[in-house]
Chain A
Amino acid sequence: DAMVIQNPRYQVTQFGKPVTLSCSQTLNHNVMYWYQQKSSQAPKLLFHYYDKDFNNEADTPDNFQSRRPNTSFCFLDIRSPGLGDAAMYLCATSRDTGEGEFFGPGTRLTVL
């Protein structure tokens, strides 16, 4: 089945220790997104790629970076995680602009 896969599902890191979350997709969608979701809130878009073009949201902290080496994979790097970065991180893909996004299961990040 075509899907969006995120690894790991749960990640524990220490304050200030860099962490990388990964996302892969078998849908061959050209747009990939990274969201942060905190409890009882809507997903908050961090950035997205349209093919290789990177689009950063204005309020995304510099602490968050992303890489998309090819169509199928996308990574979220948190350079120096703080306690406030503990959240669910969601990867999503879409085939085209202005249509539905398909979400992965998410990675729950805990910062100690």
Chain B
Amino acid sequence: QQQVKQSPQSLIVQKGGISIINCAYENTAFDYFPWYQQFPGKGPALLIAIRPDVSEKKEGRFTISFNKSAKQFSLHIMDSQPGDSATYFCAASNQGAQKLVFGQGTRLTINP
């Protein structure tokens, strides 16, 4: 019940296209859903996050869509650029747990 399932494992998108990564969770106590971006040899960086009281959050080219009834959330990268090529992790937490549960990660490649 603590798992967060992420798909796809890898994704190749053409420059200018839309990248979509999906995550699903079981634990209804989760109330915070961040996305992290990680470049090779670097630590993960918090990209964008959402709470379940809203269905969508947008920051620049990055959008989180959240479906509470389906227990799913997704990251959309609009106008994908080669510089977006990285590994993306979704995660979930609840205030009492003090820790994140990570998805398995998606390696995104944007072809020029």
Contact = CB atoms under 8 A, between A and B. Distances in A.
B and A form one assembly: yes
Interface of A: 4, 31, 33, 40-43, 45, 48, 50, 55, 90, 92, 94, 96-106, 108
8 contacts: A42-B105, A43-B102, A48-B98, A90-B44, A98-B31, A98-B32, A100-B32, A103-B36
Interface stretch (B13-21, B58-66, B87-95): B87-95
Given A40-B105, A100-B49, A106 B98 contact: no
B43 A103 contact: yes
Interface of B: 31-32, 34, 36, 41-46, 49, 89, 93-100, 102-105, 107
A61 B91 CA distance: 24
Contact of A104 (B43, B100, B107): B43
A41 B87 CA distance: 10
A102 B99 contact: no
B43 A97 contact: no
B104 A45 contact: no
What is the predominant secondary structure among interface residues of chain B facing chain A?
loop
B42 A105 contact: yes
A98 B45 contact: no
Nearest to B49: A100
B30 to A, nearest CB: 9
B95 A97 contact: yes
A45 B101 CA distance: 9
B95 A41 contact: no
A106 B42 contact: yes
Interface centre among B31, B43, B49, B97 (most CB of A within 10 A): B43
A29 B35 CA distance: 20
A48 B76 CA distance: 31
Contacts of A43: 44, 89, 102
B28 to A, nearest CB: 14
B98 A97 contact: yes
Contacts of A102: 46
